[in-house]
Chains A and B, each alone.
Chain A
Amino acid sequence: MTDLSELLETARLAADPRAIDRRRVDFGGVDPLGLRQINFGLMDRVLPDLNNVASHIRPYTLMAWAWRRVRYVVENSKRNAAAPEDMRDFVDRIEAIFAWSQFLVEPRADIPGAQAMRSMLEASKYRFGGDEWEARRNMRRYSTGLISPLNYGPSLRTMGWLVPVEGATGIFQADPSLDPVLDAFEKRFEDELGHEAFNRFGAVTVKRSDAERWGKLWALEKPRAAERKSMFVRLGGARAATARQKGIALIQAAFADLADDEASYEDIRLRMADRAEEWGEPGDRPPAADEWRAVQIRQLFRLALEGLFFWTIGALLPGPLTTAQLVRTFLDSLKEEALPDTAGAWILASDDRKNPIEHLRSLQAALRDQAKLPSAIVTALALALREAPDQCHSFENPDRLPLSRAKREATSWSNLSPATFMARLFEIWIMAQHAYWSVGRGLADARSRGKTILRLRIVMDEGGWTLTPGTTRQGNPPEPTPDRLDTAISLLVECDQL
């Protein structure tokens, strides 16, 4: 914040009026229409508590073991107690050693933080103490560390590997029922447990050769049978949330229905979203497939609208356009000789029954070509509106444009001409939605004195819709929200369940 007295002094010294500075704008934001949160909500109905990162079993075991080891160290201390920060530091050290060891064994190991770990890979030893370690540790806690909220942190808790200790933030214990699993895990490196890194709080030094040796003993991709079993119980078995049990069963059913050992993740994704008649055995299609299709329909809707937003930025780059001009440009790009008289006979008359993921992929391809984009958007919207539910879920805030609201509004516009229909769509679903969410998020940042970025890209000005000053390029095209399926499949494969 600029100091008021400085501003006042400058003003006092001014002899003439001053020119207003050009605004220096930092643009940002990746959810221009505020549609993404509903996608997450829908994913939670199929694959809750997973993210797109935590896709291996071993880190779960390791973190549970590390916290159990904390207890061991405390039990062997004189005071039977320790400062929380010492406990966290111990666990941070174990997981950093684990990551270090995995990158030493396999530089492309599938855990976060390869870049940040690079300097350690060259070192012959590393001291887990002092400023360098503390800086690294603190960074890992919120970014590349396994416990980070961006990685395994949330699911370690929600899947029951770690239990928070009441009254002590960031302190956990392993679920006691995991003891046999952790014993089995520990067995592989029990001869190494004498190292001070596993036995005391505070600074310790670990040699690279030690880490390399341990890396092979607790290798990322070699979970033991007990670990696999324990993970499956939590992923899709008795200890899993009911929704995830059904979601995991759907993955297995889809894979079985494909009857192809070489089926790719994308094949499974498609089959999961297929209508019953597309299944080899329609009777084997679990009800959760409807939920999964709903996820993909929403994905399609979101990408179609964000695609339209992206197209609009491209259309406005040369200069402002009115809504009517935008609509004309858009409809002209469809290259259809004549559109029906009403939207009801046009975009709302679709009898498309294809898999939404196929449209999603077509749309992704069209997003690289401004001229072909309108046609892909219309096709995508037609299917999304056709399959839109009548009711919304409780987590679907109307401000986030749930499909049920979109369907209601689109239906109310069905008697309008395609041009008028598209004008409403541009003004309400794109421009108003964009302004509302851009402003809302900016003000949330402002209330917390957070980052100052301008998310608003399109504004109304003389001459019509125009890009906010400083917008000079279309930017990257939008992408579908990763749907957690890759994570679920990876874990299932490691569990020997797929």
Chain B
Amino acid sequence: MNPLELISAAPWKRVAFTTYALSLSFFEAVLLDALLRGGGRNALILSDPEGVRAGLSEEGARRVGRDYEIEPVACSNHGVFHPKIAALFTDDDAHLLIGSGNLTFAGWGGNLELAEHLHPSFAADAFDDVAGFFEQLAGSDQVMTSAGSACEALAAMLRRSAQGHARAGNIHVLHSLEGSIAEQLALYTEEMGGVTRVTAVSPYYDLRGEGLGALAALLECERIDLHAHPSGTVRGQGSNAWPFEGGRRWSAINVSEAFGSDDRPLHAKSIELVCRKGRLLLSGSANVTHAGLFGRNIEAGVLRIQPDAKSYWVTKKATAPTRSSGDDLDDDEGASAAVGILSACLEGETIRGRILVPRVSGAVRVDLRTPRSTRDLGTVQISADGAFMLVAPGIEIESWENGRLILGLERNGRRWEGFVSIAAALELIRRTGSIAPRLMAMLAGTETPADVAAILAWFREDPSRMPAALAAGGAGSGDRPKALEAMVTLADLKAAGVAASTNGGAGPGEPSSVWKHAMALIRAAFTQSRGPWGGGGETDDDDDEDEKDREKRARSEELANYRSLQIFDELLGAMLGAQASGQSALTALSLSHFLADRIRPAPGKVQLWLDKILPHIVDLDGPEADIAIAPVLLQHAADRRGDNAIRARRYFVRRGIDPSGLTVSTEAIPAFVDLLGPDLDLDAFLSEVSAARTMGEQIDAYLSAAQGRGAAVGFDTLRQSAFWPNLEQALGNATSFAKLILLERFQSACPRCHMRLPTAAAEDLRQRGLASCCGRTILNRDC
């Protein structure tokens, strides 16, 4: 069987794994990959401290704590947490994988391992049993973990999934939190009329066969045959491939059909018990050792109960393996010197955690390691139960970007370490569903064209998901007509030539702070300049020898970019609609720059975006307004019309900004600059804007002069207009002045006769501030 097929077979909403050994790089490169491909998310690893310790040494595995959780589970009685269970859940269904393989490359195909794929439809008892296992994990004195509530939730989901299914009683899961595996096994053998033959398959035994001896005694079966795997067994530290000092009572056989022809090293663990009334078959995590079957370890395995069985393992005589120098005496050497393990979670600026093994209390030094730095966090008090709490300001954003936070505690040369889960990230995964990995990629700066297209589509689906306070909705529609490729007209060609949890909130009410926080970070990501995606066949991961791959990538990226531009055009309508009241204009500006930066569309497209967005920016006083100033100047400077400085000035003045107090920096908008005017001197243009006067300002100056409140200067454009003779006369003549019609706001009809002005005159009045009707001059101050 290929368990990865199950991992990628459905959009699992919750996945939990238990393991002893752990390779995080395997988990991220293989399992997380398969999970994502199936649309799954929300993975939790419950691992023995030994596995966590291995993970801590894997500096390259950076998604831990952010894209998935890891929780250590320690045994308080010096045993190890050894079960290998995978539980996979959709809303209304669950599957279990229970076997012998750890979460490592070897455990998922490198070794000879066994696994059972169970479903409530035929193994409901097993789901009850595993639910019981997780319940006991949450409450047992034998266990030290911070994952109690997660285990209880898993148990509840397992019980729910098994509701309504028949209990056939033929497949159970035995676990050692109920009592020893061997004793539970013995109870079943009694029901089956007693054992006549036992065959064990195990990579490890006690050196002197204590476990075997105890099992034989318990089952009242003197002889147990042991599978001697032709390709050897996985070598474990301090383990023995055979009961070398256990006497001659254990016969070496080869379970040839089931295992013998597999040339991988054996790590599978299974016991076949042939009984008078049938067959029992146990497989799972328990080695045939005293610790595995009787002792301190936490183990789990599937027991198949086959009354009246007709088929049994076929065995042949074999030779026991010879003892090599690698077979050690049982020992725990080195364990005491290993780094201690803790569990921790970052919520906002607070880290809450607990030391699991070895226990300590009192004051300890604390440090926090990220992929980019190590910070000293001072001293913290550990309570008697190992719990602690400390403040870690400013770490959250970095953790979102980089993942992998390792908290270290130290006292008297002794050190404890553990991964810090980022509560907000995990909450985001839970709430946003399948888009979460793409949002995570966006935050980490590793987004692809397909990610951006998908995120934009997600925003379009429901614009209220957008960062910032966009109140507008309605643009999204599942029934959107497919965009048709319109005819391209000669005019287009000429023009080109010339131009050279899914609602996003905490529920029906207000969005949660976590959500707002996450969206603020997404928005911040959109304001970053990350440069164009590698185009032109020059990307870093292309295999030069695989031309088809490059073609495929080029094609899919081009399509994704095209899609992003299309979606953004639609989204822009929603963001700038009347309901939005300009509140999303700055977000739209950031998004447009992000897309311009990444995709580098045609300059005309970018100009069009700015033409749409900039008029909607109503407030240039806010903390983010700086990002708008340079685009405003750039857009006007790139416009070749003669009055561009005046129009730029009008833009600022209307928003209550005096351009002479502005400075311009294009650092935040390199793509706009590249596309719209790499050679434009915006500082010089700003000087022009500062020196220019809008028609409104000129009209004000004129009015001041006419009313004797100011000098007759500052209205040069009026002097050059066709209306100047009338205006000049009114300057010194109160009667003439009284005949002028003054508008505070533009209107397209004459205020005197109420007739609509001719289009050209109305446009002049709107743009240039002057028109005439009824033999009078009309002045519009609002231009």
Closest Cβ of chain A to B190, distance in Å, is 23
Contact B9 A452 (CB under 8 A): no
Contacts of A169 in B (CB 8 A): 562
For A115, the closest partner residue in chain B by CB is B547
Contact B495 A23 (CB under 8 A): no
Contacts of A82 in B (CB 8 A): 487-488
A497 to B101, CA, bound (A): 66
Contacts of A3 in B (CB 8 A): 9
Which residues 636-651 of B sit at the A interface, judged by CB distance below 8 A? none
Contacts of A83 in B (CB 8 A): 485, 487-488
Contact of A149 among B311, B451, B454, B554 (CB under 8 A): B554
Q: Is A163 an interface residue (CB 8 A)?
A: yes
Residue among A15, A17, A398 having the largest count of chain B Cβ atoms under 10 Å: A17
A439 touching B61 in the complex, CB below 8 Å, given contacts A2-B8, A461-B106, A469-B109:
yes
For B67, the closest partner residue in chain A by CB is A443
Contact B36 A447 (CB under 8 A): yes
A52 to B544, CA, bound (A): 12
Contacts of A449 in B (CB 8 A): 37
Closest Cβ of chain B to A13, distance in Å, is 9
Closest Cβ of chain A to B52, distance in Å, is 13
For B36, the closest partner residue in chain A by CB is A446
Contact B25 A435 (CB under 8 A): yes
Provide the A130-171 mask, 1 if CB < 8 A to any CB of B, else 0: 000000000100110000111101110000100111111101
A395 to B57, CA, bound (A): 30
Contact B59 A427 (CB under 8 A): yes
Provide the A425-464 mask, 1 if CB < 8 A to any CB of B, else 0: 0011001111110111111111111111011100111100
Contact of A8 among B112, B116, B121 (CB under 8 A): B121
Contact B485 A20 (CB under 8 A): no
**What range describes how many residues of B lie at the interface?**
35 or more
A148 touching B5 in the complex, CB below 8 Å, given contacts A176-B497, A448-B448:
no
Contacts of B493 in A (CB 8 A): 70-71, 74, 165, 171, 173
Contact A166 B25 (CB under 8 A): no
Contacts of A469 in B (CB 8 A): 105-106, 109-110
A84 to B499, CA, bound (A): 19
Closest Cβ of chain B to A422, distance in Å, is 16
Q: Is A81 an interface residue (CB 8 A)?
A: yes
Q: Is B360 an interface residue (CB 8 A)?
A: no
Contact B105 A51 (CB under 8 A): no
A14 to B118, CA, bound (A): 10
Interface segment among A31-39, A196-204, A258-266, A343-351: the answer is A31-39
Closest Cβ of chain B to A230, distance in Å, is 14
Contact A4 B9 (CB under 8 A): yes
A37 touching B534 in the complex, CB below 8 Å, given contacts A143-B551, A149-B554, A435-B60:
yes
Contact of A31 among B531, B540, B605 (CB under 8 A): B540
A468 touching B554 in the complex, CB below 8 Å, given contacts A19-B262, A84-B488:
no
Contact B59 A431 (CB under 8 A): yes
Q: Is B558 an interface residue (CB 8 A)?
A: yes
A21 touching B29 in the complex, CB below 8 Å, given contacts A165-B488, A469-B106:
no
Q: Is B33 an interface residue (CB 8 A)?
A: yes
Q: Is A108 an interface residue (CB 8 A)?
A: no
Q: Is A40 an interface residue (CB 8 A)?
A: yes
Contact A459 B59 (CB under 8 A): no
Residue among B25, B106, B262, B554 having the largest count of chain A Cβ atoms under 10 Å: B25
For B26, the closest partner residue in chain A by CB is A459
Closest Cβ of chain B to A78, distance in Å, is 12
Q: Is A119 an interface residue (CB 8 A)?
A: no
Q: Is B1 an interface residue (CB 8 A)?
A: yes
In the A-B complex, list the 3 residue pairs whose CB atoms are closest, starting with the nearest.
A435-B60, A150-B537, A432-B59
23 A-B pairs whose Cβ atoms sit less than 8 Å apart in the complex? A2-B5, A4-B10, A7-B6, A8-B117, A17-B114, A19-B112, A19-B258, A21-B2, A21-B109, A23-B30, A30-B542, A30-B544, A166-B496, A166-B604, A242-B678, A394-B529, A397-B445, A432-B371, A433-B60, A435-B59, A435-B61, A444-B441, A451-B552
A51-B538, A166-B496, A435-B25 given. 5 additional CB < 8 A pairs?
Answer: A7-B117, A29-B543, A165-B488, A428-B59, A469-B106
